[in-house]
Amino acid sequence: MRAPVVTPERYRRLALIALVLIATIIVTGAAVRLSGSGLGCDRWPTCTRHELISVSNPNRAIEQINRMFTGLVTFGVAAAVLGSVWRTPRRRDLLWLSISLVAGVFAQAIIGGIAVLVQLDWIAVAVHFLASMVLLAAAVVLHHRAGEAPGPYRTVVGTQARWLARAILVVGSWVLVAGTFVTAAGPHGGDAKAKRLGWAIPTAARLHGVSVMILLALIVAFVALARRERMPAAALQAIEMLLAAGVVQAGIGYFQYFNGIPAVVVGFHVAGAAIVFACVVRLQLVLRVPVTADDPALVRSGALLADVS
């Protein structure tokens, strides 16, 4: 049987589907914890000692739905791998990026199983969340690169902007880590048996809040730099989108803290964290473009393509 042909446009749509599914399962995973269903199924990969699947109570049903959604995510990333094999023309970078998504999904399943077996110890839960963000970052990279020509690449901004973008990535990653401390000290552990971080909530929230303020300051500085240096439209759009997402996310964070940390609002905060981090990763990607034969920068410099490939 003849293998199907996947055009670059169709492949980017497959990459988008995988990205959306990965982002969605971050939120559904949070819903399991926020609904107190984290140990609804106290075994892994089975639900109970004697049942593979059980919906005998609401908590088990919620946990089972999330586990079943993991299967849908697996299907989505597998489609991305097959699409990269059938894509015409085939690109090795897209193939390896898509394979990394499959590996990440399986790793996440194992980490999630360990979290259940250790009764939602806060460290395991934090690692589970942070690994999800790494997986999300890989999906953002795959989707972005699927829409552009293959490398090599050249930067379109100056040294100051590149270092500022890297600082945003480092601080943005730290904000995620600090956020897990707030979660670990907060009231939504996923189950009454969950092992919690013994910090006072205000202490964890203060650390997280200060980190967020530093991140927003870096983002504002980048916006000012982008406008002053008249950076390409893609870079300006990316940083302005990140600023908007960051401000909204900070507002949600403060609202939930001063209103008793309601579970529904925490769910929106988790979704916001995924959006903000996706924007942080995308910012890194738009600061460079693929080198092409008609690249004006190469024409001005007199460089040969053979020298950059």
Tens of pLDDT, residue by residue over 210-219, are 999 999 999 9
Q: Which alpha helices (H) appear in the chain, and where do they start and end?
A: 8-34, 58-86, 92-117, 122-146, 159-185, 201-228, 233-257, 263-286, 296-301, 305-308
Distance CA 75, CA 77 (A): 6
Q: Omega of the bond prior to 45 within 30 degrees of 0, cis? A: yes
Distance CA 274, CA 280 (A): 10
Mean pLDDT (whole number) for 118-133: 94
pTM comes to 0.90
Q: Which residues pair with 87 in a beta bridge?
A: 6
Amino acid at 261: I
User: Quick check: 161 and 287 in contact, CB under 8 A?
Assistant: yes
Distance CA 309, CA 152 (A): 6
Distance CA 186, CA 122 (A): 11
Read off the pLDDT of residues 135-180 as tens digits, 9 standing for 90 and up. Answer: 999 999 999 999 999 878 999 999 999 999 999 999 999 999 999 9
Round the average pLDDT of the chain to a whole number and report it.
Answer: 89
Q: Which residues contact 294 (CB under 8 A, 6 or more apart)?
A: none
Q: Which residues contact 215 (CB under 8 A, 6 or more apart)?
A: 168, 171, 172, 175, 246
Tell me: pLDDT of 300 over 50: no
Lookup result for tokens 């956020």: 179
Q: How confident is the model at residue 1 (pLDDT cuts 50, 70, 90)?
A: low
Q: Which residues contact 50 (CB under 8 A, 6 or more apart)?
A: none
**Cβ neighbours around 13 below 10 Å, total:** 14
